[in-house]
Amino acid sequence: MLIKCPVPLFTASSYSFILSISEEEARVKALNEYLSTRSYIQGFTFSHADVEVFRKFSGPPVDQYIHVVRWYRHIEAIYDGSSEKNEPCKLQTSKGKRVQPPWSPPEGTKHSRLCLYNSLTRNKEVFQPQNGKKVLWYCCGPTVYDASHMGHARSYISFDILRRILRDYFKYDVFYCMNITDIDDKIIKRARQNYLFEQYRENKSTPDQLLEDVKTASEVFSVKLNETTDPDKKQMLERIQNAVKSAFDPLQEAVQAKLPAEEINRCHEILLEEAKDLLSDWLDTKFGSQLIDNSIFSKLPKFWEGEFHKDMEALNVLPPDVLTRVSEYVPEIVDFVKKIVDNGYGYVSNGSVYFDTMKFDSSEKHSYAKLVPEAVGDQKALQEGEGDLSISADRLSEKHSPNDFALWKSSKPGEPSWDSPWGKGRPGWHIECSAMAGSILGESMDIHGGGFDLRFPHHDNELAQSEAYFENDHWVRYFLHAGHLTIAGCKMSKSLKNFITIKDALKKHTARQLRLAFLMHSWKDTLDYSNNTMESAIQYEKFMNEFFLNVKDILRAPTDVTGQFQKWENQEAELNKNFYDKKAAIHEALCDNIDTRSVLEEMRSLVSQSNSYIAAKKSSRQMPNRLLLENISSYLSQMLKIFGAIESDDAIGFPVGGNSQNINIESTVMPYLQVLSEFREGVRQIAREKKGESLLFPVLLHMRLRGHRNQTGWGEPADTVSLCLENKSKASLNQSFGITAPLMVIECSCWRIHLGVC
């Protein structure tokens, strides 16, 4: 007995789906459903797909499938059973067949891919984000207890350049998170010292009391000095000691000699200021444990965070998409620590919680110190990572191993504290970044950035505790570390008196010049901040700016709409070829670990070639090709904008009038300069015709103006060009034109005009 299976139900979505149905009745039913939703008779033609489905029919469909019946009859009426491929047209002409010839596709070239130096492998690796074009990026922010210095600038300008290039050149969708460390041993100690010293100053100690206190503090300070082994730190402490002694003796002598109160007070203030570090340390040792108000520890980081943001804005560093502060993430940090303990990689000891490095490293799926494995056991580095307030003998004795590090620190008197399952305490340094980054970016990020000196133990400990929390081995895919910064070949140190804050640096050089100096070096190598380095950056800026001014001047020359399209000769073709060659070379350099140093050299070479082209055209009394030079200068300007070296929206070149100006100085002043330049040309013409005695105008204008032969010139910004008088002496001018009044110089912002009154 033949048993007929029920027809399965299908939801037809396309002809390809219908063709995949093997059972004919099910296929017909699916086709009927599909045809009910579309117009299947369009003129007198049918598609290749129609024919394929039609061929599957063993005979006409039953009448119940009305849409299929109509469709079938239409195909059957006009289909002759031939191949679905169109036959070539048989019609011939004297010019050959009326068919398209075979197409020859281009072979193409191999496209370079972005490679980044990954500290996890110590090699350049092809950059492949985890999720399409989206890039999750975390950057270690500052510990805010003092002024930001050029070491900070080295990291944050470098990562700002990389971030801009990934976002604006390679077109990645970058999500950038940075933290502010506002809970830390350094902050706690500095906050206590500042508070206690200000209290001491307000109490207005007598000269005798100050002398006694400084003497007592000096004895404690001398012990600390003798125990110090670091040469740089020892030198700094010796300098403090000598400065205190130099201020101590004059006050002591003034008191003993009973000099006037005014002189004693002057010496008193000098000693108080010179002994600030010494007294602060002594006061902290004596009274620091008595401070219990948490607000004392929040005031200092809040102030210095504000100063940090001002410095970053002055350097044109983009703000992060998300900013996290440790003080705002304490509950998340507590939960993070708890899970690490639950996963078996942490232990509680005397109210503190430590990370078990041996337990973690013995796990098959984990490895401790991925970045700098050779540094494991470096107790000096480990203790620096724990903080000055966390390396006492009792703290160290709480650990199972000297290599273990604090996840949660039980608070001592004189320290801020928060509630936790293990009692009052505060977060360890390393766990702060892990918890905040994990909260925002999840179990794995594409890029983690930070300074080179943070690799061990900070970043290695971050990796360990995060992978212990998420139970994975890929918390970070690419670890990028900005290179060191030296000052004229030496380590930056207060002891060497070469400690340079960002504000100090910006007093000597502009933000653009600093950025150009960074661009002229590899982001991952040591950068030497010196006079030679900055002079190179200044000269590069001047070189580029001169080119932009030349091109702007050429573009300002009057022309009609069609005049901008000039015939190309060999010179234009050669320059254009060089232009595209340089663009390709720049792309290769950016793909090669974002090699901005090579990029700037390629840009310099392109400008040199363009300058040679302009000079050749001028020597032959021909106008350079406007459109070609505009394309080149616009491209170079766009690259500098991508690098953050140009802030304005001007199409070409650096903005005139400084970055803080909200108006376009150049476009505002230019109409007036045009009138002045035309006036000058008129005066020149009269002078050439020797009609000086009949001058009708009482003012003689002298400007250094750029222009072409037989054309009116234009002025230049004074911050890039030195405007000066013609190469004639003032006496010669007086004699030739009868100038009786002295020359006057009128300055307006960034423009300078020299006037002589007749």
Pairing of strands 476-482, 445-451: parallel
d(CA 474, CA 476): 5
DSSP states of 76-129: HHH--S--SSPPPP--EETTEESSPPPP------PPP--EEEETTTTEEEE---
Identify which has the larger pLDDT, 114 or 30.
Answer: 114
Is a pLDDT exceeding 50 seen at residue 724? no
- Residue 19's contacts (CB-CB under 8 Å, 6 or more residues apart) are 52, 53, 56
| Domain assignments of the chain as residue spans, ordered by start | 15-78, 117-184+315-504, 186-297, 530-642, 665-757
d(CA 605, CA 607): 5
- Residue 415's contacts (CB-CB under 8 Å, 6 or more residues apart) are 188, 297, 389, 426
Tell me, what amino acid is at 465?
A: Q
Question: What is the percent of the chain with per-residue pLDDT over 90, rounded to a whole number?
Answer: 62
Phi, psi (rounded to 5 degrees) for 321: -70, -35
d(CA 274, CA 247): 7
Instruction: Judge contact between 113 and 127, C-beta under 8 A.
Output: yes
pLDDT attached to residue 433: 97
d(CA 640, CA 161): 10
Mean pLDDT along residues 655-667: 57
Phi, psi (rounded to 5 degrees) for 653: 80, -175
Mean pLDDT along residues 222-248: 90
- Residue 3's contacts (CB-CB under 8 Å, 6 or more residues apart) are none
Check whether the bond before 331 is cis (ω within 30° of 0): no
pLDDT attached to residue 397: 87
Band (pLDDT 50/70/90 cuts) for residue 299 is: very high
Which structure tokens are listed for 17?
A: 């789906």
pLDDT attached to residue 81: 67
User: 503-540 pLDDT, tens per residue?
Assistant: 999 999 999 999 999 999 999 999 999 999 999 999 99
Of 242-251, 430-439, 485-494, minimum mean pLDDT range: 485-494
d(CA 736, CA 598): 53
d(CA 129, CA 135): 6
Identify which has the larger pLDDT, 221 or 741.
Answer: 221
Q: 117-184+315-504 domain in CATH 3.40.50.970?
A: no
**Structural element, H or E, at residue 709:** none
For 495-593, list the strands marked E by DSSP. Answer: 527-529
Is a pLDDT exceeding 90 seen at residue 662? no
User: 90-128 pLDDT, tens per residue?
Assistant: 444 445 556 778 888 888 788 899 999 999 999 999 999
pLDDT attached to residue 314: 98
Task: Please list, residue by residue across 685-701, b when 16 or more beta carbons sit within 10 angstroms of its beta carbon and e when fewer do.
Answer: ebeeeeeeeeeeeeebb
Mean pLDDT along residues 417-425: 96
Pairing of strands 476-482, 322-325: unpaired
Band (pLDDT 50/70/90 cuts) for residue 710 is: very low
Mean pLDDT along residues 626-630: 95
pLDDT attached to residue 702: 46
User: 674-691 pLDDT, tens per residue?
Assistant: 677 677 777 777 777 765
Pairing of strands 405-410, 425-427: antiparallel
Is a pLDDT exceeding 70 seen at residue 469? yes
Task: Please list, residue by residue across 11-46, b when 16 or more beta carbons sit within 10 angstroms of its beta carbon and e when fewer do.
Answer: ebeebeebeebeeeebbbbbbbbbbeeeebeeeeeb
d(CA 340, CA 302): 30
Band (pLDDT 50/70/90 cuts) for residue 233 is: confident
Is a pLDDT exceeding 90 seen at residue 414? yes
pLDDT attached to residue 593: 98
d(CA 254, CA 269): 13
Helix (H, G, I), strand (E, B) or coil at 754: strand
pLDDT attached to residue 9: 45
Is a pLDDT exceeding 70 seen at residue 41? no
Q: Which of 722, 626, 714 is nearest to 671 (CA)?
A: 714
Identify which has the larger pLDDT, 416 or 6.
Answer: 416
Query: How many C-beta atoms surround the C-beta of residue 346 within 10 A?
Result: 24
Helix (H, G, I), strand (E, B) or coil at 33: helix
- Residue 396, Cβ density class (10 Å: 0-12 exposed, 13-18 middle, ≥19 buried): middle
pLDDT attached to residue 672: 65
Mean pLDDT along residues 269-295: 93
pLDDT attached to residue 668: 61
Instruction: Judge contact between 175 and 137, C-beta under 8 A.
Output: yes
Instruction: Judge contact between 118 and 429, C-beta under 8 A.
Output: no
**C-alpha count within 13 angstroms, C-beta hemisphere, residue 147:** 10
Is a pLDDT exceeding 90 seen at residue 719? no
pLDDT attached to residue 279: 96
Mean pLDDT along residues 276-283: 95
d(CA 739, CA 16): 94
User: 584-594 pLDDT, tens per residue?
Assistant: 999 999 999 99
User: 306-319 pLDDT, tens per residue?
Assistant: 999 999 999 999 99
Which structure tokens are listed for 546?
A: 């001169």
d(CA 341, CA 364): 18
**C-alpha count within 13 angstroms, C-beta hemisphere, residue 655:** 18
Mean pLDDT along residues 297-312: 97
pLDDT attached to residue 756: 42
Tell me, what amino acid is at 321?
A: D
d(CA 46, CA 17): 18
Q: What is the average pLDDT value for the chain, to the nearest integer?
A: 85
Is a pLDDT exceeding 50 seen at residue 5? no
pTM for the model: 0.78
d(CA 44, CA 37): 20
pLDDT attached to residue 590: 99
Mean pLDDT along residues 267-279: 95
pLDDT attached to residue 85: 46
Is a pLDDT exceeding 70 seen at residue 183? yes
Of 389-393, 629-633, 752-756, minimum mean pLDDT range: 752-756
Band (pLDDT 50/70/90 cuts) for residue 82 is: low
Identify which has the larger pLDDT, 16 or 612.
Answer: 612
pLDDT attached to residue 36: 81
Q: Which of 506, 508, 503, 511 is nearest to 307 (CA)?
A: 503
pLDDT attached to residue 693: 52
Of 288-297, 560-569, 575-584, minimum mean pLDDT range: 560-569
pLDDT attached to residue 689: 73
